[in-house]
Amino acid sequence: MTAFHKLIANVKTALERAPRPAEPGHAADGGAAMPVAGDLRRTELIAQFARELAAVGGVFLGALTADQARPRIVALARELGAKAAACGAGVTMDLAPLARALEQSGVAMTRADRKSVADRAAYRDRLAQADLGIVEAHAAIAATGTLAVVGAADRPNSLTLLPPANLILVHADRVMPDLAAAVAALGTATFVTNRVALITGPSRTADIEKMIVLGVHGPKQLYAIAVWPAEGAR
Cβ partners under 8 Å of residue 23, min gap 6: none
217 or 126, higher pLDDT: 126
* Sign of the Cα pseudo-torsion (182, 25, 33, 13, in order): negative
- Residue 225 pLDDT > 50: yes
Distance CA 218, CA 153 (A): 19
Q: Report pLDDT for 226.
A: 96
CA distances to 102, 135, 158, 165, 174 from 153, in Å: 23, 13, 11, 21, 22
Residue-range domain boundaries for the chain: 3-19+37-233
| Annotation: CATH topology of 3-19+37-233 | Rossmann fold (3.40.50)
Segment holding 73, helix H or strand E: helix 66-80
Distance CA 160, CA 137 (A): 11
- In tens, the pLDDT along 160-177 reads 888 999 999 999 999 999
- In tens, the pLDDT along 91-110 reads 999 999 999 999 999 999 99
90 or 18, higher pLDDT: 90
Distance CA 56, CA 224 (A): 13
Taking phi over 0 as left and psi of -120 to 50 as alpha, with beta for the rest, 80 belongs to alpha
CA distances to 26, 35, 77, 218, 234 from 230, in Å: 24, 17, 24, 32, 7
Residue 2 Cα to chain centre, angstroms: 28
Distance CA 28, CA 31 (A): 7
155 or 134, higher pLDDT: 134
Does this model's pTM top 0.75? My answer is yes
pLDDT band at 199 (very low <50, low <70, confident <90, very high): very high
Total count of residues recorded for the chain? 234
Q: Report pLDDT for 224.
A: 96
